Structure 1
Amino acid sequence: MPAFQSKPFRRATTASSTLGERLGAIYRARLPRHPFLLFGLPFIAVIVAASFVITPATALRYERHDRRVRQLNQEEVMTLGLKGEDGEEGIKRNPRRRIIGSEREEYYRLMAKDLDDWEQKRVQRFKGEPDGRL
């Protein structure tokens, strides 16, 4: 008698085998022959379906955040008494914008500077602060 039997061991299909066990056995037997159809396609389908499920939830999240920000802005306007230039309620504009003027004037002011002739200077340090020299 040989040391090992020539027949592989397989459980006998009995009435006690559940439907899940039988479906699992069929799936495992067919998976090597059709890997994309039985593994890849369901995986891709789950990913695509999840993106469609997550999209409305994400939109709801951003809508709530926008609503909260708008509510805070309205409360700030009421409590701080912020007024715009024309008397309407709103966020104050940058006061520096009026000093500088238009972007065109700023551009020409920067272009008039001589950027090629400059000298590097060390910043004065506080007492006891290391200055980086060895």
Structure 2
Amino acid sequence: MPAFQAKTFRRTPTASSPLGERIGAAYRSRLSRHPFMLFGLPFITVIVAASFALTPAAALRYEHYDRKVQQLSKEEAMDLGLRGPDGEEGIKRNPRRRVIGDEREEYYRLMAKDLDNWEQKRVQRFQGEPDGRL
């Protein structure tokens, strides 16, 4: 008996083979002769089609973001109590305290605070709001 059998590993498709096996065998035999047409072109086609299909989803995402983040009008800013940098009604809030000097002075000012002796204070609640006490 020889070391290798004469039988092929894959059987050849016959007329009685299912359609899927015949198509698969034809695809495998032609793939070695035309690799781009049978592998690369369908791959690129799927990528391009997916980009066109996902474009509306991306547009929805940005429209949702735009609805969430919008510029306030002057009337809305006045209603919310926002002021501009010059004290006029605008979009930016006035900072409570500005940093005067350089970073070192601010660092040493913060380091001089006594962090070991502190007292816990409850936040004042609005009228009718539960304060979390039992």
Q: TM-score range by the shorter chain?
A: 0.5 to 0.7
CA gap 1:91/1:30 in 2 versus in 1, 3 angstroms? same
Shift of 1:77: 3.2
CA gap 1:78/1:23 in 2 versus in 1, 3 angstroms? farther
Q: Take 2:91 and 2:80, find their aligned partners in 1: how far apart are those partners?
A: 10
Q: Percent same amino acid among aligned pairs?
A: 66
TM-score (norm 2): 0.52
Q: Say whether 1:13 aligns with 2:24.
A: no
1:1-134 matches, within 5 Å, as 2-9=2-9, 10-11=11-12, 13=14, 15=16, 17-70=17-70, 73=72, 77=77, 79-82=79-82, 90-92=90-92
Larger RCO of the pair (alpha carbons < 8 Å, separation 6+): 2
- The aligned amino acid for 1:27 is Y
CA gap 1:81/1:53 in 2 versus in 1, 3 angstroms? same
The answer as to whether partners of 2:77 and 2:90 remain within 8 angstroms in 1 is yes
Shift of 1:13: 2.1
Q: Which runs of 5+ in 1 are unaligned?
A: 96-121, 128-134
Query: How many correspondences in the alignment?
Result: 97
1:15-41 CA distances to partner (integer Å, 9 max, x unpaired)?
Answer: 3x3211211111011100000010011
- The aligned amino acid for 2:54 is I
CA gap 1:30/1:49 in 2 versus in 1, 3 angstroms? same
- The aligned amino acid for 2:28 is R
Q: Which has the higher helix share?
A: 1
Shift of 1:79: 4.9
- The aligned amino acid for 1:61 is R
Q: Which runs of 5+ in 2 are unaligned?
A: 96-103, 113-134
Q: Take 2:92 and 2:4, find their aligned partners in 1: how far apart are those partners?
A: 89
Q: Take 1:81 and 1:93, find their aligned partners in 2: how far apart are those partners?
A: 9
CA gap 1:3/1:14 in 2 versus in 1, 3 angstroms? farther
Q: 1:107 maps to what in 2?
A: none
Shift of 1:56: 1.4
What is the alpha-carbon root mean square deviation over aligned residues? Answer: 3.8
